[in-house]
Structure 1
Amino acid sequence: MAFLQGPSPKQEEMIRQELNEMPGDVERGIRDLRSMCAANPYLPNPESLDSRLLLLFLRGCRMDFERARKKLETFCYSRSRYRDLFEHRSLIEPPLNDVCKFLDIVPLPKVTDEGLRVTIFRMRPNYPESSSDIAATARAILLISDARMHDETLIAGDAFVWECTHVRASLATRVAMAAGAVRRSIHLAQAAYPQRMRRIHVVGAPALIASSINLMRSCVNEKIRKRYYLHSKTEELLDHFPSRVLPVEWGGDEESIDVLAKKWRRRVEELREYLRNLNELCDVTPGDVYHDDIYGAVGCFRKLDID
C-alpha cells in the first residue's frame, strides 16, 4: 500500500507557482509527450503511458515541455541501453536483498514545509562486507526510484540525506573500483529521472571516504555541487528539516528507519508487475541515437557511456 503523503492545500498552491504550472498546462503537456511518443517508433505506445508518469516529467522540468521530452525519451531509451541496471526488480530476492543489509534506502512519507521529499540513505551498523557491492547498490537505488515514481505526489523537489557514521575504510576502495558504475548511475539519475535536486546532506562522513564524496560531487553539475551540506551528527538535520518529517531516532516524529525500510521493501514487491513493465518501455534503442541529437538524448548517453 502506498504511504507517501502529499502537500497541504496551501503548499500545493506554493509548489504550483514554483513549478510554473498554469491552468491548462498539465493537459497540454501530457498531449505533447504523447504526441512525441506517437511520432517515434522506438518509443512506447502513447496510450500505454500512465498520465501520472507523464505528469512527473512535466513537473520535474518545471512545465518546460522541451526538457520534459528530453528526459522522458532518455528515460525510455535507458531501459534498452542499460538493461543491466534494471534487470533485478526485487529487494527480497538475490542479489539485491544483500544490499538491504548494507544500506537503508528510505523516501520519507511527509514533505517538508518547502514541499521537498526527503530520502534517507543510511549505512547500517555491522553490515556484512560482502553486502557493500557498489554496483548492486546503484541498482537498488534506481529500483526504489522507479517504485517511488508510481506513488509520488505533487512536490517541489528532492533532498537526499546520506548517513555515513558506520562506513568502513574498505568502502572507499570499493567505490573507487566501481567508479564507472557510480558515474553512470548518477548521470542517469540527472539525465533521465524527473528529479529537482535541491539539497544533499552528508552526515558523519569520516575523512577516509573524502575521495568517495568527491567522486559523487564530480558527477553532478556546479549548481548541485553547491547544494552539499556536511554534518557531524544527525541532530544537526533538525536545523534544516522539521521534526515531523524526520525519523524518531534522529529526533523526529516519523516512524523509525527500520520500519520504513521494511515498508519500502514490501511496496517494491507489490509493484513488481509495474516495475517489470517499466523495463519494457523501450526494447530497442535506435542506432542513430548515438549520432543524432534526438531531443538531446545523445548528449546524455555520451556522458553515460564510460565503462
Structure 2
Amino acid sequence: MAYDLKYKTPLFYYTEEELAKILESRGRKPDGLAEDIEIIRKWLKTQSHLPMQPTDRQIISFLVMNKFSIEKTKEKLELNYSIKSLIPEFYKFPVSHTDFLKDVNCNTLVYLPKLNKNLNRVVIWKPDIPEDFNVNTLFSTLLQLLELKSILDFSNSDEYMCDMSNLSLSLVSKIGPMDIKKMLTILEKVYSNRIAAIHYVNIPSYAMTLINLVKVTLKPKIRDRIVLHKNNESLLDYYSKDILPKDLGGDSKSLAELKEDFKQLLLDNQEYLKKVQSARVNEVLRPAKLCNDDILGFHGNFRKLQVD
C-alpha cells in the first residue's frame, strides 16, 4: 500500500531522497511500511480507552521516532494521550487563549524549514520580551509544535538551539527544575528523547545558572551533547549557511520572519490542536491500570538535584 509521505508545508521541508535515507537507516523503504502500520492498527482496535485514532502518517512518524520498535511505538502513542492528564498544566492553552497568544509574541520558538546534514530538525528558542515570560505557556507552545511535527514532518532526530541574547535575570528566576523535568519527561515518554544536540549561543554570564539547571536534569548521554558558543560564527562549524537564519550568520529567513510563519501555522491548525489538547483517556476503559510513578518517576528523587 502506498502512503502519502510528501512534505505538506515548506516550514517542515524534506525531499523524497532525505525521507528514503531516514527510513533506510531504520531498515525500511517508503513502499515497505504496510505490515508495521497494520500491526499498530490491530493493536489500536483493542485500546478502547484512547480518545483519538492517529492517522497512518502519524503512526509512521512514531515508528520512525522509535526506530520501528512496535512495542515502543505502542507505548509512545498511548502516552501521547495519557500524559495530558498527568501534566495538565502544559495542555490548557489552546491557540486562541490570550495567554498563549501573549507567549507567541514574547518568545521566538521556531523550527528551521530545512533538515541539517544529519537529517535532523533544528528548533530555535529566543526570548523576545523576557518580562512577559511564562514557562507553562512556552512549553505548551513547544508541545503544540511537536504535535504538528508528528503529522507533518520526518527527521532523524531533533536539535535544540537557544539564542540567549535577550535573556534576563528575571526570566531565569521564572524557570524551576521541576518545570524542566516535566518537559523532559514528556520528551522522553512521548517523543523518545530524540535530542541529538543542544546549542547555546550569545550567552550572558548569568545564563549559566539556567544552563546548569538544564544539565542536571538531563541524562548523561544527552548532557554530553551540549555545545556552548561564544558567538554566531562558531555555529557554522555545525550548520551550513543555507539553513541558518540571517540573525545567526546564515542565509535563510530571519527569526522574525520564521516567527510569523509558525504563528500562522499554529493558527491555521488551531481546530486540530484544540481537539488534541482536550483529548483525555477514558480510565474506566483502560485495559491495565497506568502507574503514574512509572511515568513521573522523578517524584521523591528529584529533590536531591543540586544546581551549581
Quote the residue 2:119 is aligned against.
115
State the partner residue of 1:256: 254
Work out the CA distance in 1 between the residues paired with 2:142 and 2:204: 23
8 Å CA contact 2:158, 2:195 repeated in 1:
yes
Partners of 1:169 and 1:9 lie apart in 2 by: 45
Q: For structure 2, list consecutive stretches of 5 or more residues without a partner in the other structure.
A: 1-7, 304-308
Shift, 1:257, TM fit: 0.7
**Distance apart, 1:245 and its partner CA:** 0.6
Q: Is the 8 A contact 1:19 1:156 kept in 2?
A: no
Structure-2 residue corresponding to 1:206: 204
Tell me, yes or no, if the aligned pair for 1:184 and 1:304 is still in contact at 8 Å.
no
The one-letter amino acid paired with 1:136 is T
User: Are the equivalent residues in 1 in contact too, given 2:160–2:199 (CA < 8 A)?
Assistant: yes
The one-letter amino acid of 1:262's match is E
Q: Find the residue that maps to 1:118 and give its secondary structure.
A: strand
For residue 80 of structure 2, give the secondary structure of its aligned residue in structure 1: helix
Tell me the TM-score normalised to structure 1 length: 0.86
Could you tell me the percent identity over the aligned residues?
20
Q: Which residue of 1 aligns with 2:231?
A: 233
Cα root mean square deviation, aligned: 2.5
Change (3 A) 1:218 1:28: farther
- Answer yes or no: is 1:301 the counterpart of 2:296: yes
The 1-side partners of 2:178 and 2:172 are apart by: 14
- In the TM superposition, what are the counterparts of 1:44-123 in structure 2 within 5 Å? 44=51, 48-90=53-95, 93-123=97-127
**Aligned equivalents of 2:209, 2:220: Cα separation in 1:** 18
Residues 20-50 of structure 1, C-alpha deviations (whole Å, 9 max, x = no match): 32577522222222222222221246xx321
Verify the 8 A CA contact 1:77 1:282 in the aligned structure 2. Answer: yes
Unaligned runs of at least 5 residues, structure 1:
292-297
| Cα pair distance change 1:5/1:142, threshold 3 Å | closer
Q: How does 1:14-53 map to 2 (within 5 A)?
A: 14-22=21-29, 26-44=33-51, 48-53=53-58
Instruction: Measure, in 1, the Cα distance between the counterparts of 2:51 and 2:125.
Output: 32
User: In structure 2, what is the Cα distance between the partners aligned to 1:228 and 1:206?
Assistant: 16
Question: Would the alpha carbon gap of residues 280 and 36 (structure 1) be closer, same or farther in structure 2, given more than 3 Å must change?
Answer: farther
Q: Which residue matches 1:294?
A: none
AA aligned opposite 2:22: I
Distance across 2 between alignment mates of 1:8 and 1:23:
13
Residue 18 (structure 2) aligned to one of 11, 15, 19: 11
Whole-Å Cα distance in 1 between the matches of residues 30 and 140 of structure 2?
A: 37
Query: Counterparts of 2:48 and 2:298 in 1: how far apart (Å)?
Result: 24
The normalised TM-score by structure 2 is 0.85
Q: CA deviation at 1:108?
A: 1.0
The AA in structure 2 aligned to 1:268 is: L
Relative to 1, partners in 2 of residues 1:77 and 1:164: Cα closer, same or farther, differing over 3 Å? same
Instruction: Work out whether residues 62 and 73 of structure 2, in 8 Å CA contact, stay in contact via their aligned partners in 1.
Output: yes
2-side partners of 1:74 and 1:199: how far apart? 24
